[in-house]
Amino acid sequence: MRLPNGYGGVVKLSGKRRKPYAARVTAGWHLNEKTGKVVQEYQILGYGTTKTEALQILAKYNDNPIDLSVMKLTFADIYERWSEEKYPTVSASNVNGYKAAFALCDAIAEKPFKDVKLDDLQRVVDTCGKNYPTLRKLKVLFNQIYEYALKHELTVKDYSEFVDILKYKDRNPNKYDRDRFTPDEVQRVWTMKDDKYYQIVLMLLYNGVRISELLDLKKENVHLEEQYFDVIDSKTENGIRKVPIADKVLPFYKNWYNDYTDSKYLLHTDDGKKFSYRNYYDSYFKPLMTNLGIEKTPHCCRHTCISMLADARIDQTTIKKIVGHSGAMTLTEKVYTHMDVNELIKAINMI
C-alpha cells in the first residue's frame, strides 16, 4: 500500500535486530556539495518488530504530529533546561546535590528523552551503587525533570513516579554487581584477548577509569610512546589526570589507535563514530560478559583495578592518582605529591 505524500514511511534496517523496522518522517533537506543534489533528512519516530508495528507508530504520529526538534532533545538537554529555571531559586548545597544526582545518569544522559522509559530510570538506581539518602535525591531529580517536561509538553507520561528506591532503604543497591572480577574471571577475559571488543574490557581492567572517560577519550590525548593518556574532562576535579598504560594492554591501545585512521576517538564504532554508553553496554559489554558467564558491569572493571593495585601493595596515594578518586586526595597529597608518570606506569605494571 502506497502511503500519502508527506505521511512518512517504514524501512527495514540491515543486520540482526530485535526491532528491524523503523518508522520515519522527513525532517529536512540538505545540499550534497559533492554531487550537487538535494538530499532528504529523516527523523526516526520509533522501531517495530514487524512492519505493521512500525506503521502503527507512524499512524500515531500523523494523528498527533509533534515538533520534530523536541524528539531530538536528550535527557541531558531537558536537565539543562530544567536547571536553568531551578538553580537560581535554590541554595548552593541543593544545587550541588542535584548535580551529584545527575552525574549518576551517564547511561541515559545522551539518550533521546522520548526514548527514556521506566526501565532506564530504574537501571540507573539499580546500578549506581549509592546509599538510600543519595537515591532519594536522585528520585527527586527524576520527579522534577519529569514535572518540567510535562509542564512544557515535552512528554506525555511521568515515569519517575514509578521508580522504586524503597527496596534499598536498608542496604546498598546492587552490591553484587559492584564486586570485583575474580582472578578466574579475569583469566577468562584474557582467553579472548584477540577479539578487539574483549580488548576494551581488558583495557578497563588495567586502567581503572570510568567507562565514560574511556569512551570520551580522543586520540590526540593518547601518548603511546610515553605510555599514558590524559583524561581532560571528568565529573570530579581529581578525575583530570594522566592515566598510565600497562605493558600487557599497550598493544590493544595501539590496535584501536590504528584501527580507523579517520576517527578522532580511540574507541569507535565500525564507521569511526564515538560510542555512546548505551550502545557500548547493550551491544558489546553485556553480550561479551554473557558469553563468558560473567555477571559484571563496566564499573566493576574500575573496582577490580583498584582492588588489584591494593593487592599488589601499591600505596594509596598512587592508587588515587591513577584512578582519580573523587574527594580522595588530602591537602598534603595534593600540594606535595608530584608523581612522575613513569612511577604510575611502574605501579600499574605490578598487577
Which one is predicted more confidently, 33 or 100? 100
Structure confidence at residue 231 (pLDDT): 93
Q: Where are the alpha helices (DSSP H) in the chain?
A: 51-63, 68-71, 75-86, 92-102, 106-109, 118-127, 132-151, 183-190, 196-205, 211-215, 250-259, 277-280, 286-292, 298-311, 316-323, 331-336, 341-348
Same domain, 79 and 59: no
Please tell me the number of Cα atoms within 13 Å of 171 on its side-chain side: 6
- CA–CA separation, 204 vs 225, rounded Å? 20
Would the pLDDT of 138 be above 70?
yes
Tell me: the pLDDT tens digits for 200-212? 999 999 999 999 9
Same domain, 121 and 234: no
Residue 325 included in any domain: yes
- CA–CA separation, 102 vs 22, rounded Å? 31
Residue 1 included in any domain: no
Tell the residue number behind the cell numbers 594509596, with chain if given: 316
Same domain, 218 and 331: yes
Would the pLDDT of 94 be above 80?
yes
Among the residue ranges 28-42, 117-131, 306-320, the one predicted with the least confidence is 28-42
**Inter-residue contact 290 to 169 (CB < 8 Å):** no
β-partners of residue 28 are 41
Residue 339 included in any domain: yes
Task: Characterize the bridge pairing of strands 21-31 and 241-244.
Answer: unpaired
Q: Which of 118, 141, 168 is the last residue of a domain?
A: 168
Per-residue DSSP letter, 282: I
Residue 108 included in any domain: yes
Tell me: the pLDDT tens digits for 212-246? 999 999 999 999 999 999 998 876 677 789 999 99
Residue 239 included in any domain: yes
Residue 177 included in any domain: no
**Inter-residue contact 58 to 8 (CB < 8 Å):** yes
Cell, residue 34: 559533492
**Inter-residue contact 301 to 181 (CB < 8 Å):** yes
Same domain, 196 and 327: yes
Q: Which of 134, 168, 202 is the last residue of a domain?
A: 168
Terminal Cα-to-Cα distance of the chain (whole angstroms): 63
The enclosing domain of 154 has a CATH number of 1.10.150.130
- CA–CA separation, 236 vs 227, rounded Å? 23
Same domain, 85 and 233: no
How many domains is the chain partitioned into structurally? 3
Summarize the confidence of residues 238-259 as an average pLDDT: 93
Reference 86, options 73, 95, 75, 77; nearest CA is 95
Would you mind telling me the total number of residues written for the chain in this entry? Answer: 351
Q: Containing domain of residue 14, as a range?
A: 9-65
Same domain, 284 and 311: yes
The enclosing domain of 318 has a CATH number of 1.10.443.10
- CA–CA separation, 296 vs 137, rounded Å? 26
Please tell me the number of Cα atoms within 13 Å of 262 on its side-chain side: 5
Query: pTM of the entire structure?
Result: 0.52
Same domain, 57 and 81: no
Q: Which of 121, 137, 168 is the last residue of a domain?
A: 168
Would the pLDDT of 70 be above 70?
no
Mean of all residue pLDDT scores within the chain: 86
244-273: b or e for each residue (b if 16 or more CB lie within 10 Å)? bbbeebeebbeebeeebeebebbbbbeeee
Please tell me the number of Cα atoms within 13 Å of 144 on its side-chain side: 18
Tell me: the pLDDT tens digits for 189-199? 999 999 999 99
Tell me: the pLDDT tens digits for 310-344? 889 898 888 988 998 654 445 444 444 445 899 99
Structure confidence at residue 312 (pLDDT): 92
Same domain, 56 and 91: no
Same domain, 341 and 196: yes
Same domain, 28 and 157: no
- CA–CA separation, 33 vs 104, rounded Å? 42
- CA–CA separation, 248 vs 232, rounded Å? 24
Would the pLDDT of 176 be above 60?
no
- CA–CA separation, 38 vs 183, rounded Å? 57
Residue 175 included in any domain: no
| Residues in CB range of 113: below 8 A, 6 or more apart | 73, 74, 75, 77, 78, 149, 154, 155
Structure confidence at residue 236 (pLDDT): 66
Same domain, 242 and 134: no
**Inter-residue contact 205 to 181 (CB < 8 Å):** yes
Residue 173 included in any domain: no
Same domain, 327 and 224: yes
